[in-house]
Structure 1
């Protein structure tokens, strides 16, 4: 791991190089990269009390959990998507599919947030869905077509001006001509090899044949990885339709990820996926397969590439499996150690809605995985969504945070039972 000063020097050169080549300079990023003030003085603060918060708490009374667990409102966070818990446990960063990143602080450590305000308000974000954090305190935010780096984010977040740099300059994550309004929610994670892994969903329901060569070259419909200074970018994963959640097994280091599968094939096919990647360059089947081993209509007569890897876990069709993480905390009972917690956002392309819950996947010693509901109840008896979970993350005490972009909230799940 490079020192803070070395990385700052490197990223400053990267940023300067991007500007020298004539790339568009995002609002105030050049000033922040040079440790200059922007003149921004105001934050947007989100009220944590009142009728809105009370309504969310009322909904949580109906959530069903295993014995000994409880769920509570942690914070009101508008449009809450993916979560990065600060490495020092000071602040939690929450992305959105709009133009805000939120900082969430529990100042008195009563396990309920006291303050939610916008992070780096002088910057103009574009779908900053995916924040992720390195162990030594570097915050990365994966946007629609850019990746930003914030050294010492937990230190600088109290000010409207924060140290900020391009890791991947705007327009360089994917070719500008391939930008789309669809499947643009990027996620990132730092791997055990100290590289950053970023998923790049492809924009189509089923990607057309004429796009496949371009997509494979840039990692669209796959996952890329690079060093933490942005160098040595490579495509790591192929054959993904739209993955919005990944993590690394705490013991094996293998990459596991969710994938959203093809719409319009019926209520019950194809299945959603949780995948296991054991080596670089593996192909997971899209667009030849719509999910699991179900072939797409568009590629039914086309021979798939050799060596397709089918999912480790098939999930209910159209439940929209998104954020996931391996549980490494000490609060939950022993059986949850190294289990996968994942969020199902809920269906849109189904007669009867499914999903809108948190799942848990147990993996045995042979690598076999089984999935079951862990927290559910966000679809009521009228088949109305009361919430739509997006991501899961672990606080330092071992409790679980769950984001919900419909309610605009973070929930905290804790365990108070006895094994």
Structure 2
């Protein structure tokens, strides 16, 4: 009986060993079948810090502006102009490799602003703000079921885009850009006097507050939350501080309009592009002043008697960060994800669209910058996070740029998405380290 007992024991061991091999093989097979992101070997030509990777999820879209990502990873894109009667695109990655497999669209209007917030998708034209209900998968199933929340906003060719953000109390904050460079009677005309007071500020040149649960609001139902802001295309509600932050496009043409006060070199650098924290009732001073990042001072605008040195605007707010002029900060995002290293947590990413008004100096921008924050305030110098979008070192005109960053969004895994309205691409930046 002993040999039979040993045989049974051996059989049991072999069966167990076979089972382990089968399970291990299944696990390995399952592991091999898991999709991996198709990160570009050269990061699509984008320079990012060590440990980060870049993939281009789609390209050749028609001027994508701001973007939003739902909890399932689907990407909503606002197009500057509607194409084939679609001004909003919904992009889906069906196989998990990070590349877009399916594109659909709706909303026959152009614009810039788009935000995914809880159970709704919010989007803007240049005159209105709309709200679409999302289903359990974060999808707009019935585009015809749309609420017009805000209507009748000022829209002229200059600074017409109505970008926006939302707070945690049910309010929408809308940029209504000034349809002017410096509030001259004849815009951008040499010798044309400035308006005093600047009547544009009654309906533009600031941020207006509306409700996100009330239909057909006009200026009468809204609140001018802040004024003296020439054009703040980038807005975000900082959830850690519960405050509004905006990025302003500074005024242009100092040397062209006032060649006796500014040379082309100083005009290429001035005034600063600025990041502000906004409280209700704030005035940032446009058009009467501008911020000089070199003098670290608010300077009286030459249209109102300034000479490039004379300070003014004692009651106007100061920026929390000042950048070189004309780089066009088009999107602002406070990072709340966990994928990136700790230094990026609650810091601000800013997408710079790139300059046009620096000639004969080379154009600058075409990048994503980062501002570290601690306790709700900038905690260090700003830095370039992602660069090389332009595709070459020296850009004489923005039309030469291969890509121009316009929008930012955070994915559910903590990825950072960057849209580009020159090449029509959307990039995804991930941390691999």
TM-score range with shorter-chain normalisation? 0.7 to 0.9
Question: Which of 369, 378, 387 is the aligned partner of 1:376?
Answer: 387
Match for residue 354 of structure 1?
Answer: 364
Shift, 1:213, TM fit: 6.0
Gaps of 5+ in 2: 1-39, 185-193, 255-266, 293-297
Shift, 1:150, TM fit: 1.2
TM-score normalised by the chain length of structure 2 = 0.75
Structure 1 residues 403, 59: closer, same or farther in 2, change over 3 A? farther
Distance in 2 (alpha carbons) for counterparts of 1:212 and 1:413:
46
Question: Which of 187, 205, 225 is the aligned partner of 1:221?
Answer: 205
Q: Does 1:133 align with 2:79?
A: no
Question: Which of 235, 242, 266 is the aligned partner of 2:224?
Answer: 235
Distance in 2 (alpha carbons) for counterparts of 1:254 and 1:148:
23
Q: CA deviation digits over 1:276-313, x for unaligned, max 9?
A: 12x20101111112344243211235996652002111
Distance in 2 (alpha carbons) for counterparts of 1:115 and 1:297:
52
Match for residue 268 of structure 2?
Answer: 267
Match for residue 201 of structure 1?
Answer: 177
Question: Which of 341, 354, 375 is the aligned partner of 2:349?
Answer: 341
Match for residue 390 of structure 1?
Answer: 406
Instruction: Give the secondary-structure state (helix, strand or coil) at the position aligned to 2:372.
Output: strand
Question: Contact conserved, 1:284 with 1:309, CA < 8 A, in 2?
Answer: yes
Structure 1 residues 105, 158: closer, same or farther in 2, change over 3 A? farther
Question: Contact conserved, 2:350 with 2:368, CA < 8 A, in 1?
Answer: yes
Match for residue 240 of structure 2?
Answer: 251
Distance in 2 (alpha carbons) for counterparts of 1:84 and 1:326:
14
Distance in 2 (alpha carbons) for counterparts of 1:150 and 1:253:
25
Match for residue 290 of structure 1?
Answer: 290
Shift, 1:58, TM fit: 9.4
Question: Which of 285, 307, 323 is the aligned partner of 2:331?
Answer: 323
The CA RMSD measured in Å over matched residues stands at 2.5
**How do 1:59-78 residues align onto structure 2 when only pairs under 5 Å count?**
60-76=43-59, 77-78=61-62
Distance in 2 (alpha carbons) for counterparts of 1:166 and 1:368:
36
Larger Rg: 2
Shift, 1:367, TM fit: 2.2
TM-score normalised by the chain length of structure 1 = 0.77
Distance in 1 (alpha carbons) for counterparts of 2:276 and 2:394:
33
Distance in 1 (alpha carbons) for counterparts of 2:178 and 2:202:
13
Q: CA deviation digits over 1:223-267, x for unaligned, max 9?
A: 011111236521111110111011122211111110000111211
Q: Does 1:112 align with 2:99?
A: yes
Question: Contact conserved, 1:331 with 1:398, CA < 8 A, in 2?
Answer: yes
